[in-house]
Structure 1
Amino acid sequence: SNTFCSSGAFFRNGTLFNTGGAESALFEKVPIQEGFNKIRTFAPGPCPETGCTQDWVDIGATIDVARWYHSMQTLSNGEILMVGGSKAGGLVLNTPRVNEPSYEISIDGHSLPAVPFPYLEFTDSDGPGKSYNLYPALHLMPNTPDHIFTIIGDQVFIYDYINNQNVTTLPFLPNPRTFPSSASTVLLPLKASENYRPEVMVCGGSSGDAPNPLALDDCGRIHPLDAEPEWTFEKLPDGPRTMGDAILLPDGTVFITNGARLGSGGGVMADDPAFTPLIYNPEAAVGERFTIMPATTIPRLYHSVAALLPTGEILIAGSNPLQQKPTSHYPTEYRVEIFSPPYMSAPNRPVITASPDFINYNAEFTMNIQGAAVGETTVVLSHPGFSTHGVHHGQRMIQLTTNTTADGVTTVTSPPSGSVMPPGIYLLFATVNGIPSEAAWVRLDSN
């Protein structure tokens, strides 16, 4: 079935749970069936020595309602939340006729009935603050009973989707930030030393000035669980950017890439590619947080992706603003790039020589790290998430309580609960003086 413009999250065993999609494409050499309410899975690796077949499996079941351009988030118990979307494909702007103002929760791949969600509703007379509601931004708040930080258009709030009630209404954003505005949003790395106090960052996007939207040049940050949360803003150093990808790096910084300087999300809605990546250091002073990186020569516009690799590098691919039209100004892009952050040039990187394959919540475990230094070693758990349309569903990173002894043994305390890090398979990095190792794989779960 057609996965085009679908969404994804991961089961606790690492299997990709991919839902929704687009219309059929029966004219293809291999006909593709309609995918709006379909479920597909993709098993994790590595394959055993006896071999295996890793491929998409269309399991035959369906989600409760058709969804295209919806968002997904794994919850603290491994259940998966799906929010919003449209009932039909081929649009840049959602319309009341095809809007899907609901959410549903899947338990082990079986959806509960969809729940009406007024925050997604709008009429023809409503502005972009409500109608720009596709691919909502969702971030699971730590140390809460599955409360989800949510951005829909310019609306910002924390919602309890399990009990269907608003928890906190937060200050609105000055422009819509969800598709087709297509801002980059990340939950900045959570730190055990700060009791996993969450902070969300939103960068760029587009204004609601249809049919000529303006790409935005600001980044905002907010601590949503504080008593009086407020947005603070700063400017992007290289100009506006819409449809960017923001990737959490194991040294605690954020890599921003892809996108455009003009327009908005959508097939032919953007121009002037953003060739220069950025690295953002959230710990630096305002005015010193951004570093402009060497430029690429490949335009990465609509349908571009980026993901953190176990090496610490970033995989960058995609761009097909006019789909399969090789004569267009920005044709479909089949080249793949690898970006190496500055830490990849370090003469010596730490090496994880021993680490567990499985860790329980709220438990200590030990690691052997070549190059570990007392007081300078940090262990990080990372999930790159599911990347599409500049949204990284479930992307998450935490810095754990770490103690390294003089003999090189590092003791680490695992996350306290699934709200801090949902059950799943993660990248486990060790950083020494800000230089990360290559990652080991580890499963985090309850016995």
Structure 2
Amino acid sequence: MLSNTITIITLALSIFSFPTSSVAEVTTAIAPIAIDQDGWVITTDSAQPGNEAINALDNDEGTFWHSGYGPDVPLPHNLVVDMGNQYMVNGFSYTPRQDGNINGNIGTHSIDYSLDGNTWTTSAQGTWANDDTVKLVNFQETTCRYVRLTATSEAGNRGPWTSAADISLWYDTSFIAPAPQTKGQWALTIDFPVVPVAVAVVYNTGGILAWSSYDPAAFGGTGQTVTALYDPASASVSKELVTNTNHDMFCPGISMDFNGRIVVTGGDDAAKTSIYTPTSATFSSGSDMNVARGYQSSATLSNGRIFTIGGSWSGGVFQKNGEIYNPSNNVWTRLDGADVTPMLTNDAEGVYRADNHGWLFGWKNGAVFQAGPSKAMNWYTTTNNGGVTAAGTRSDSADAMCGIAVMYDAVAGKIFTAGGSPSYQQAAATTNAYIVTIGNVGAQATTTKAASMSYKRIFHNGVALPNGQILVVGGQEYGSPFTDDSSIMYPEIYTPSTNRWAIMAPMSVPRNYHGTAILMADATVLVGGGGLCAGCSMNHYDGQIFVPPYLFTTTGAKAPRPVINSVSTTNVAAGGSITVNTNSAVTAFSIVRLGTTTHTVNTDQRRIPLTPASAGTNSYRLTIPSDNGVALPGYWMLFAMNSAGVPSISKIIKLTG
């Protein structure tokens, strides 16, 4: 082991851009301060003479630490910092070597902390992109003395080497840790080799497929997409450049078909269709759309087809009516009767923005309900040439571009909407929230104004939780893409049964334009992304796991969770039933369809509460709703909840048509 004691000046953080939030009522400014490195001791498993560990703490990008050369010093490699005293820490940065040589850039890695240097806890894990940009990592605030960076792969797989020009740590003096039993808790940080602008749950592993564009940190290219796959079982992240579909899948429509395949349409390559098959972990080409689109939404229908509409951000600005995809024969068909005009917003930038990001919900008889973002709501039918019927306006709502819509109770036809603004950008967001209730196709929807959010939000995300609550996370007060200005750092949870909001523990990273959030199979939520602007400081290459309050006891301890021991079948048709055996008594069940999301839109996500009937001790019979428009076929997460409202880890089941 090499050990070096060093004395240096306080590290300046001028290379970083940290957000401040301006909501006067409760938002607190984030004030990170570099920890003075004077007296730090750094050790490493090996070092090449001339490139000792001290170089990673000299605040000089012209020098760097490099692991020892040769086959006798294989990966993994590590750097361990002893700060000499205990500090509150919630940030770490790694600067790769800056001499033009990329050998040793760290790929797969973990960041761990310890009070005594013997017992370690992982704060962040993942894979970094193979470039020389500074890697910034935020994680849950913790008190520690030791921090360890472990590299388990070289980013370009060029050899068993690791290098680092500089590392630094910081803390946030304004942060006061909230009680986890009432505010939830931020857990593991996942570092991605891309900005996760789009994410989808993979049914066979419960993992997360994430992608950006042709480049990990920029858009505007063509012909390829950089993707990453997060495996929660190992907390590992792999990276793949997808070129075989000739499709830059930035700003697409996304839908999950009945077989769990992820159908990605349009975007930068505006006519393309790419299909991800989880069992082979590969992309293949679908047929091109008839209309080139970007920023469109799509929705899987009760008959297994996929409907899309709008999308003038890419592929030309004109009237982009609906079309429909049949996965069984790989054919797109125009539906010119599905007129886009009734759903346009009155955006300051015109049609270019007015047909973006429709709030679409597949419903009964192959129809689609459009709940927004326009204040006008509509029914779209998909038989023959298609059609559109007005469904009323969303109460007193204005247009709400880049707001959210969540079907939190499909049995009752309940859709929750919140936030957004009259125009896509350079407009103030709103706190308004509504409950939209739908029934028969073509009938007028009813809208009830819900309690307002605590914060104005645009570019936020909404997640249906297993217990029927809705988590709202991220966003900013004033729509300004590619900035961290006016960031809302506090998530909120809405409870429909009480019409009340609760403010959650604050995030450490802004999640605004190109931020994402998605429900995981263990009932936690992965919140990530933001940015994707070449060379800017707002690129957030990470995600962090949010643990909702329902996973804690009233004393703040981890709550004992019910366990689903078995299910009678993992394939069940609409109207069919399954028997579920648990390890203890439970009082409620729900199923939540696996989600896909980008640009605030998640049309696959929906929740169905299930009423259990006793089938013996800790055994329950559940009946699936009989209409495929409600119980949309595909893959769902089945949760059991006990009398304290604590959900189990889910079992993945498939609803068939």
Counterpart Cα distance in 2 of 1:237 and 1:165? 35
Go from structure 1 to structure 2 and tell me whether the alpha carbon gap of 1:235 and 1:357 turns closer, same or farther (over 3 Å shift): closer
Letter in 1 for 2:301: L
Match of 1:359 in 2: 572
Counterpart Cα distance in 2 of 1:123 and 1:149? 14
Contact between 2:322 and 2:339, CA under 8 Å: does it hold in 1?
no
Match of 2:287 in 1: 61
Go from structure 1 to structure 2 and tell me whether the alpha carbon gap of 1:411 and 1:299 turns closer, same or farther (over 3 Å shift): same
Q: 2:475 aligns with which of 259, 284, 291?
A: 259
Go from structure 1 to structure 2 and tell me whether the alpha carbon gap of 1:271 and 1:309 turns closer, same or farther (over 3 Å shift): same
Match of 2:380 in 1: 159
Q: 1:135 aligns with which of 338, 357, 364?
A: 357
CA RMSD between the two structures: 2.6
Match of 1:48 in 2: none
Go from structure 1 to structure 2 and tell me whether the alpha carbon gap of 1:371 and 1:70 turns closer, same or farther (over 3 Å shift): same
Contact between 1:263 and 1:271, CA under 8 Å: does it hold in 2?
no
Match of 1:41 in 2: 275
Go from structure 1 to structure 2 and tell me whether the alpha carbon gap of 1:71 and 1:235 turns closer, same or farther (over 3 Å shift): same
Q: 2:406 aligns with which of 160, 176, 186?
A: 186
Contact between 1:132 and 1:176, CA under 8 Å: does it hold in 2?
no
Q: How much has 1:344 moved relative to structure 2?
A: 1.6
Counterpart Cα distance in 2 of 1:240 and 1:350? 36
Match of 2:494 in 1: 280
Match of 1:193 in 2: none
Counterpart Cα distance in 1 of 2:354 and 2:344? 12
Question: Cα deviations across residues 92-113 of structure 1 (Å, max 9, x unaligned)?
Answer: xxxxx61342111111132113
Counterpart Cα distance in 2 of 1:129 and 1:87? 11
Match of 2:12 in 1: none
Contact between 2:373 and 2:403, CA under 8 Å: does it hold in 1?
no
Deviating above 6 A after TM superposition, structure 1's stretches of 4 or more consecutive aligned residues are 121-130
**Residue ranges of structure 2 left out of the alignment (5+ in a row):** 1-246, 554-558
Match of 2:332 in 1: 111
Match of 2:617 in 1: 407
TM-score of the two chains, using structure 1 as the length reference = 0.82
Question: Cα deviations across residues 10-43 of structure 1 (Å, max 9, x unaligned)?
Answer: 1211111111120xxxxxxxxxxxx211111111
Letter in 1 for 2:248: N
Matched residue of 1:436: which SS? coil
Contact between 1:129 and 1:154, CA under 8 Å: does it hold in 2?
no
Question: Cα deviations across residues 226-259 of structure 1 (Å, max 9, x unaligned)?
Answer: 8774433245342211111010000111111011
Contact between 1:349 and 1:371, CA under 8 Å: does it hold in 2?
no
The answer on 1:206 being equivalent to 2:421 is yes
The answer on 1:19 being equivalent to 2:265 is yes
Letter in 1 for 2:278: P
Go from structure 1 to structure 2 and tell me whether the alpha carbon gap of 1:295 and 1:418 turns closer, same or farther (over 3 Å shift): same
Contact between 2:338 and 2:381, CA under 8 Å: does it hold in 1?
no
Letter in 1 for 2:264: N
Match of 1:2 in 2: 248
Match of 1:348 in 2: 560
Letter in 1 for 2:397: P
The answer on 1:221 being equivalent to 2:435 is yes
Q: 1:387 aligns with which of 597, 617, 622?
A: 597
Q: How much has 1:282 moved relative to structure 2?
A: 0.5
Counterpart Cα distance in 2 of 1:231 and 1:184? 15
Matched residue of 1:260: which SS? coil
Go from structure 1 to structure 2 and tell me whether the alpha carbon gap of 1:124 and 1:300 turns closer, same or farther (over 3 Å shift): closer
Letter in 2 for 1:351: V
Counterpart Cα distance in 2 of 1:44 and 1:299? 30
Q: How much has 1:174 moved relative to structure 2?
A: 2.9
Go from structure 1 to structure 2 and tell me whether the alpha carbon gap of 1:425 and 1:124 turns closer, same or farther (over 3 Å shift): closer
Matched residue of 1:343: which SS? helix
Go from structure 1 to structure 2 and tell me whether the alpha carbon gap of 1:279 and 1:129 turns closer, same or farther (over 3 Å shift): farther
Matched residue of 1:145: which SS? helix
What percent of counterpart residues are identical?
25
Q: How much has 1:158 moved relative to structure 2?
A: 2.1
Contact between 1:6 and 1:19, CA under 8 Å: does it hold in 2?
yes
Q: How much has 1:134 moved relative to structure 2?
A: 0.4
Which stretch of structure 1 is more off in the superposition, 362-371 or 247-256? 362-371
Q: How much has 1:220 moved relative to structure 2?
A: 1.3
Matched residue of 1:247: which SS? strand
Contact between 1:129 and 1:176, CA under 8 Å: does it hold in 2?
no
Contact between 2:375 and 2:393, CA under 8 Å: does it hold in 1?
no
Contact between 1:241 and 1:262, CA under 8 Å: does it hold in 2?
yes
The answer on 1:176 being equivalent to 2:399 is yes
Question: Cα deviations across residues 69-94 of structure 1 (Å, max 9, x unaligned)?
Answer: 111111112111111112627xxxxx
Contact between 1:183 and 1:390, CA under 8 Å: does it hold in 2?
yes
Q: 2:320 aligns with which of 101, 104, 113?
A: 101
Contact between 1:85 and 1:99, CA under 8 Å: does it hold in 2?
no
Larger radius of gyration: 2
Counterpart Cα distance in 1 of 2:437 and 2:263? 30
Counterpart Cα distance in 2 of 1:246 and 1:16? 20
Match of 1:370 in 2: 583
Q: How much has 1:124 moved relative to structure 2?
A: 12
Counterpart Cα distance in 2 of 1:152 and 1:342? 30
The answer on 1:336 being equivalent to 2:543 is yes
Q: How much has 1:168 moved relative to structure 2?
A: 4.2
Q: How much has 1:120 moved relative to structure 2?
A: 3.0
Letter in 2 for 1:107: N
The answer on 1:304 being equivalent to 2:515 is yes
Letter in 2 for 1:104: E
Q: How much has 1:114 moved relative to structure 2?
A: 4.5
Counterpart Cα distance in 2 of 1:127 and 1:225? 33
Question: Cα deviations across residues 126-164 of structure 1 (Å, max 9, x unaligned)?
Answer: 8679762201111133xx323322125222122223352
Go from structure 1 to structure 2 and tell me whether the alpha carbon gap of 1:60 and 1:219 turns closer, same or farther (over 3 Å shift): closer
Go from structure 1 to structure 2 and tell me whether the alpha carbon gap of 1:414 and 1:129 turns closer, same or farther (over 3 Å shift): farther
Letter in 1 for 2:293: R
Counterpart Cα distance in 2 of 1:137 and 1:13? 23
Q: How much has 1:123 moved relative to structure 2?
A: 10
Counterpart Cα distance in 1 of 2:367 and 2:638? 26
Q: How much has 1:187 moved relative to structure 2?
A: 1.5
Q: How much has 1:352 moved relative to structure 2?
A: 0.5
Contact between 1:315 and 1:337, CA under 8 Å: does it hold in 2?
yes
Letter in 1 for 2:494: Y
Matched residue of 1:391: which SS? coil
Go from structure 1 to structure 2 and tell me whether the alpha carbon gap of 1:126 and 1:258 turns closer, same or farther (over 3 Å shift): closer
Go from structure 1 to structure 2 and tell me whether the alpha carbon gap of 1:5 and 1:351 turns closer, same or farther (over 3 Å shift): same
Letter in 2 for 1:372: A
